[in-house]
Amino acid sequence: MLYREAGQFKTTYRADQAVFPIRQDFIGIIAILAVLFVVVPLTFNDFWLKSIMIPTLIFALAAIGLNLLTGYAGQLSLGTGGFMGVGAYACYKLATIFPDVNILIHIFLSGFFAAGVGFIFGLPSLRIKGFYLAVATLASQFFLEWAFGRIAWLYNYNDSGAIEVPTRTLFGVPITSATAAPVTQYLIVLAIVVLLTWVASNLVRGRFGRAWMAVRDMDIAAELIGIRLLPTKLMAFAISSYYAGVAGALMVFMWLGAAEVESFDINVSFQLLFMVIIGGLGSLLGCFLGAAFIWNLPIFLRAVPEMFGTHVNAATVEHIQFMIVGGLIVFFLIVEPNGLARMWAVAKEKLRRWPFPY
Amino acid sequence: MGGLLYNVFIDPFMQMGSAPDLLLQVLWEGFVSGTLYALIALGFVLIFKASGVFNFAQGIMVVFGALSLVGLIALGVPAILAIVMCIGIMAALAYSVEKLVLRPLVNQEPIILFMATIGLNFFLIGLGELVFGGEPKVMPTEQLGLPTGSWDFDVLGGLVIIQQLDVAAAAVACTLVAGLAIFFNKTRIGRALRAVADDHQAALSVGISLNQIWRIVWFSAGIVALATGIMWGARSDVSFALSIVALKALPVLILGGFTSIPGAIVGGLIIGFGEKIAEFYWGPLVGGSIESWFPYFLALIFLLFRPQGLFGEKIIDRV
């Protein structure tokens, strides 16, 4: 009933390959965007924006990066946190070296540095795959962590070893550091995430995406139909790292305000991998669902005891939270190994027939 | 430029030559950490061979085993009884992992099983911290009868200090490996394990119970983890930091091959020696602490030449 696409005819392949082949999807996205751009900034308070909406969007962006690599191109990576760090440190260096250039340009540029690093660490993927490649990406993770901590030039030789975000403005309104209002930061993050998601959705439908999927499904067959593995895999690494890099820059400049090595450690990489797997490998929607789920679950779990008026000490809550997150991951993998996005697809299929299933 | 080349290619070897006692000490350190890596890698290999599961939680099983032991002894349980109880805990863990995680996920993609073990990893961290507390603990070496002294040797005009504990750890490692080798080659269950490792379906068709085999391998990996935990915990404190150290078992596996027990031992030793020597002689050139990433690079370079590992099976899934 809700999803009845009767009467929507496609007469060309082009129309069939559109971003939203069904009109309801298009209307739905417009509605969601309207809520995100208009209703949320007007109604949500700073806590909601700062600790739920902004991080969810940023992690979703990083998860898209990882999903392009792991879900679409089939290359397992445990180094996304490191690539986010490259973006963040690159953006910090750019912002301090060229203070007059607009910070948004820096954020987009910093992704290219991450892409370059990702390209280099993607080179082993030509020889190896699967878990062996995962270990290779772990090498990048630990090397980058070490570099962020040891190369003083990266954090401008300050004593704390952390990067502090300078205040930058857009049209006279401060958008970074503590002086910026969460609403402005939220809108900027949202705009960038929407833009890059749109780019990603076109990428995966286009030549690159189809080549990636061919390599993922069977690399030898992909080679036989004329896909060159070398550029395809390296492109996946570079683009994936670009997304991670921009997400890292956003994370520091639009959310945390300051960062050190621990902000990009191996746990971040794992968290992102969880988001992608729980959300759904090979699905952009899944990245958002996974990010929202994994990021907000601990916040929700912290809030539960307070709802019932009982006070449990913070350490216990954290331990139980670890157990629940771990347990839920196993549970989700058992119930739906294809992730939340697959659940949504099933629901959509049901909605098409509702209320008259046959 | 010449200075740099000298610092990288000549000076470290000059240092080695001029102070051989120091080199021996560094090698010994490498041997000790290599033993630890080898033991963790051994747990990985056991499970990977029999079930094809890349068990990310092996590191936390080590911590979990050690923590249970420390916790039980702190409660006043005699050491021998505590060890027996810990073995019981490991058996319970193996049983529930097989029942609750592996069995429902049978026939899934390897990456899904890998993710499930990461989930298990988090669960065990939470459970361990909830039950035993998150702060580092000291392993009661006296109750366990572990030697704590050290031997000083005069070698090559210098002093080499060897902790007796490390010798004990190496001895335990050797015993474990020998025991496992006998178990795998001489017993009925061992043969069944090897059959499962070769081909699941063929093993099923001759009447080997996969579920039972899985329980056994997870249990034996648990025993290995417990032994590792005791030895490692006696050297430094028992804390969850080991779960990151345990990741170094991955380059070890690449070096030794994912399915080879001797490979895990040799790989562990190579990584151990390699990282300590690199840290001591080349580390200062780039600011130190390179042992956090050096093993991975060593493994990467190795991969380029021998992707199946030192002792791995010849057929390997690669491009």
ipTM comes to: 0.80
B280 within a domain of the structure (yes/no):
yes
Q: What is d(CA A31, CA A39) in angstroms, rounded to the nearest whole number?
A: 11
pLDDT of B88 higher than 80: yes
Cβ distance B126 to A126 less than 8 Å, yes or no, reads no
pLDDT number for residue A115: 93
Contacts of residue B317 in chain A, CB cutoff 8 Å? Answer: 129-130
| Cβ-defined contacts of B152-157 (< 8 Å, 24+) | B155/B20, B155/B21, B155/B24, B156/B20, B156/B21, B156/B24, B157/B20, B157/B21
CATH number at residue B91: 1.10.3470
Number of domains in chain B: 1
Task: Answer whether B292 touches A (CB < 8 Å).
Answer: yes
- Token pair for residue B164? 């007796």
**Under a CB-based contact definition with an 8 Å cutoff, are residues A113 and A245 in contact?**
yes
Task: Answer whether B114 touches A (CB < 8 Å).
Answer: yes
pLDDT number for residue B101: 86
- Domain residues for the domain of B10 are 2-305
pLDDT number for residue B318: 44
Highest-pLDDT range among A87-91, B8-12, B177-181: A87-91
Cβ distance A128 to B319 less than 8 Å, yes or no, reads yes
CB neighbourhood size of A169 (10 A): 13
Cβ distance A138 to B258 less than 8 Å, yes or no, reads no
pLDDT number for residue B1: 59
So where are chain A's domains?
47-265
pLDDT number for residue B314: 54
pLDDT values of chain A reduced to their tens digit, one per residue, 358 residues: 566 777 778 888 887 777 777 777 788 888 989 888 888 888 888 888 888 889 999 999 999 999 999 889 888 888 899 999 999 999 988 888 888 888 888 899 999 999 999 998 888 777 777 777 887 888 888 888 888 888 778 777 777 777 887 777 777 777 777 777 888 888 889 999 999 999 999 999 888 999 999 998 888 899 899 999 888 999 999 999 999 999 999 998 888 888 888 888 888 898 898 888 888 888 888 999 999 988 888 888 777 777 776 666 777 777 887 888 888 888 888 887 788 888 888 888 888 777 777 6
Cβ distance B115 to A128 less than 8 Å, yes or no, reads no
**Under a CB-based contact definition with an 8 Å cutoff, are residues B45 and B180 in contact?**
no
B247 within a domain of the structure (yes/no):
yes
pLDDT number for residue A66: 93
Mean pLDDT calculated for residue range B97-118? 82
Task: Give the number of A-B residue pairs with CB atoms closer than 8 Å.
Answer: 138
pLDDT number for residue B319: 39
Residue B316's SS3 state is coil
Q: How does DSSP classify residue B158?
A: E
Cβ distance A329 to B286 less than 8 Å, yes or no, reads no
Task: Answer whether A124 touches B (CB < 8 Å).
Answer: yes
Best A123, A128, A301, A331 residue to mutate vs chain B (most B CBs within 10 Å): A128
Cβ distance B126 to A319 less than 8 Å, yes or no, reads yes
Convert the pLDDT of each residue in B183-204 to its tens digit: 877 888 888 887 887 777 888 8
Q: Phi and psi of B151, rounded to 5°?
A: -105, 135
